Amino acid sequence: MAAPAPEVRLLQELIALPSVNPAFLPPGDPRAGELGVATFLVETARRAGLDVSLQPVSEGRPNVIARLAPTGTARHRVLLAPHLDTVGFPALDALLVPQLKNGRITGRGACDTKGCVAAMFTAVLAVARSGRRPVHTEIIFVGLVDEENGQGGSRHYAVHGDKADLAVVGEPTRLEVITAHKGDLWLQLKTQGRSAHGATPHLGRNAVLEMARVVEVLETRYALSLRRRKHPLLGSATINVGSIRGGTQPNIVPNECVISIDRRTLPGENEAGVKRDIRALLKAEGLSAAFDNLRLAPCDPLETPADLPGVQALCRAAGRRRTLGVHYFCDAAPLSAGGIPSVVFGPGDIAQAHTSTEWIAVESLRRGTAILERFLRGLD
């Protein structure tokens, strides 16, 4: 039996090294954090002759930076930037043992995004070992931490890392080149009432009833207004009321009710504008609510011009005539906000991400590696 391809073997090794985002595990869990994967990649890159370093982001959680210098004077720079962390459950323990069967590799991170790590890292190593490097373009592999929670790795690199002409952010895009994705706001809305005994509800003001009216407006009139806003690659913005909490027991009129909403944004939208629109709509209906943001940092939308030379070079390598958009948020937006034009690309299908049977097709992994190697060899 033939030995597995380098990218397949690397992916199996990566899956066997747990790198679950600490946000999804109890404190001190040995499966938490990216350090094991980071150390493994550093050692592998050094053996291949790459200039490699760790960029501390938070305690025990560094970005991996592996550089491949050009043969001449560096005038350009391209990043390959997948993330090293994974989600945890469901079925975490079983998924930490990689399985290769029927043309699929199964395991946590196989699709999201250790498959991208394997493809990108293997492509960089292949170019390094071939001796045929770009003349004027520095290639940097950046393994990012914390994408699955706060995007701490990409936000840190955007401020403290090298600027580049293009970042190719690793996500399972089915080998499509993605130049736009939606942003994501998590907002909390609160209505205030006045408590009273349940036997005399007329003496109180029911915050739950007020919130029920707010929810009805958001899920009908506001949602309809969003459907009228169209982006050529992303479609419409959306809203989802994901949770509601109010009251303590049946015989007390509730004085407070809180909902959380997920608002997917389009390029050109921002938090201030979204809040302004919602407040205006509620005011027109005789309603009001207090706002709070459930995220510490913005999750902005992405829109990168498809006619940038690096984007066109990746499209040619991938055999794609046009770029696409996706509905999910990823590290591309923080890097782009930091001044690095970014696209999203990688093997695998996002439909398999975070599932109890996460897998990636070997053929997709193989093709993705070949495309990335072709792209890197064609730089300059």
What per-residue confidence (pLDDT) applies to 4? 83
Three-state secondary structure call for residue 366: helix
What does the pLDDT read at residue 311? 98
Task: Read off the pLDDT of each residue in 335-350 and give the average, rounded to a whole number.
Answer: 98
Between CA 342 and CA 168 the distance in angstroms is 6
Candidate CATH numbers 1.20.1440.230, 3.30.70.360, 3.40.630.40, 3.40.50.300; the one for domain 183-293: 3.30.70.360
Predicted confidence at residue 295, as pLDDT, reads 85
pLDDT at 51: 96
Angle at 320 between CA 314 and CA 322, to 5 degrees: 100
Q: Which residues are CB-contacts of 232 (< 8 A; sequence separation ≥ 6)?
A: none
Report if pTM > 0.85: yes
**pLDDT reported for residue 57:** 98
Residue 219 has pLDDT above 60, yes or no: yes
Distance CA 144, CA 159 (A): 14
Cis peptide leading into residue 56 (ω within 30°): no
- Other Cβ atoms within 10 Å of 362 Cβ, number: 20
Output the pLDDT for position 1.
56
Per the prediction, the chain carries an average pLDDT of 96
Beta bridge partners of 331: none
Q: How far is the C-alpha of 343 from the C-alpha of 332, rounded, in Å?
A: 6
In this predicted structure, the answer to whether residue 91 has a pLDDT above a threshold of 90 is no
List of residues 6+ apart from 2 with CB closer than 8 A: none
Q: Does the pLDDT at position 2 exceed 90?
A: no
* Residue 69 confidence (pLDDT): 95
Domain range summary for the chain, segments of one domain joined by +: 6-181+301-377, 183-293
Q: Which CATH superfamily is domain 6-181+301-377 in?
A: Zn peptidases (3.40.630.10)
pLDDT higher than threshold 80 for residue 156 = yes
What's the pLDDT band for 196 if we cut at 50, 70, 90? Answer: very high
Q: Is the pLDDT of residue 54 over 90?
A: yes
Contact by Cβ (8 Å): 315, 321: yes
Asked if 360 and 115 count as a contact pair (C-beta separation under 8 A), the reply is: yes
Per-residue pLDDT, averaged over 189-214, amounts to: 96
Instruction: Work out the angle at residue 14's Cα, subtended by the Cα atoms of residues 355 and 328, and round it to the nearest 5 degrees.
Output: 40
Compute the average pLDDT of residues 198-224.
Answer: 97
Q: Cis omega (within 30 of 0) on the bond before 90?
A: yes
Cis bond leading into 113, ω under 30°?
Answer: yes
